[in-house]
Amino acid sequence: MAILLFISLLAHLITFVVIFNLAKQLQSIKNEQHNDLSEQLSGYLEAIREENRHLEATLADEKKQSNHTTKQGNNHIQTVESTPIETGKSQTPPISQEPEMSLEAQVLHHYAKGMTVEEIARELDCGQTEAELIIKFHRNAYNNP
């Protein structure tokens, strides 16, 4: 009887040790995934910031060029006679019956067709990093449930 009690206690002790180790492993996996996600988001955020700095620099250069061109254009202003405009039918474009696809849907559609991220960004007039993020988040959402 004492032997059975000893075996039972030993089995319970081993079970508790195994459960404790599994709980520690699970916690370390959660922490690792959290750290990986934080690193990925930090990387994406830094890439977006870099792209924004580049865009701001480009816009500032274009604004300087635009101001310079405008100053030159003001020196050569000519008066233009206004001509009457015929008012006939309204020139409103016909309304499309098809709903417009969201940016995310358009990015994923083009990506499924085999276009590169650069081509997608150029085609949809959005940031390359934005297109990458949409694709990566979609891939993570449907590949890692």
Q: Model pTM?
A: 0.40
pLDDT of the residue at 144: 60
Structure tokens at 48: 């977006």
pLDDT of the residue at 137: 85
pLDDT tens across the length of the chain (145 residues): 899 999 999 999 999 999 999 999 999 999 999 999 999 999 999 999 999 999 999 999 988 888 777 666 665 555 445 555 555 555 666 666 666 778 888 989 999 999 999 999 988 888 888 888 898 888 887 776 5
∠ Cα 54 56 58 (to 5°)? 70
pLDDT of the residue at 65: 86
What are the angstrom distances between the C-alpha of 31 and each of 12, 18, 34, 51?
A: 29, 20, 5, 30
Cα dihedral 10, 15, 18, 20 sign = negative
Q: Residue 107, class by beta-carbon neighbours within 10 Å (0-12 exposed, 13-18 middle, 19+ buried)? A: buried
